[in-house]
Amino acid sequence: MVTFKAKNAIIDSVVVVLVIIIMGIAAVVGHNVFEDINTDIQADDDIGNTTKEVSGNLFAVYPSLMDNIFLFAFTLLIIFLLVSVFLLDTHPIYFILTIILLISVFIVALLLSNVYEDIMTDSELSDSANEFPFTSWVMDNMVQLIIAIGYLISIALFIKFKAG
């Protein structure tokens, strides 16, 4: 009996979208919080110069570090998703159902991308959001990226039947 295991790939896709959105929001909000803390540290006369220098240096590298970590995690999650999908044993008859379920993933990605955009247009976070070019690009193009990833998932799910 053949079971529909491709739904696991769809669940994995939703998890990847959620993790990416949460990472993006957390990085920008973290930068905003760190900015407030760094400003307080720099203004406090009781704190030594070494501490102020370390805090200033960490604040200076935070955006590029978190942006690169975001891009690295996004790439690794896509690779993980494609490898896990390729290892699923599915039957080609489920291709249509997989496409229908991928459409739901596209809708979830669209909604979450809009949530990210709404949060980042807030006056307090918009300056911090501009410090993260990779994150902003991925979030601005989330639907197109998910369509491309969904296409790759569809290929990975059913290509092994052509090869075997």
Instruction: Report if residue 1 sits inside a domain.
Output: no
pLDDT in tens, 114-134: 888 888 888 888 888 888 999
| Domain, as residue range, for 96 | 6-163
Instruction: Report if residue 87 sits inside a domain.
Output: yes
Average pLDDT over residues 38-53: 90
Instruction: Report if residue 83 sits inside a domain.
Output: yes
Q: Structural domain tally of the chain?
A: 1
In whole angstroms, what is the distance from residue 116 CA to residue 25 CA?
Answer: 7
Assess contact for 10 and 103: CB atoms under 8 A: no
Nearest-CA neighbor of 20 among 109, 117, 152, 150?
Answer: 109
pLDDT in tens, 49-105: 898 999 999 999 999 999 999 999 999 988 988 888 777 776 667 777 777 877 888
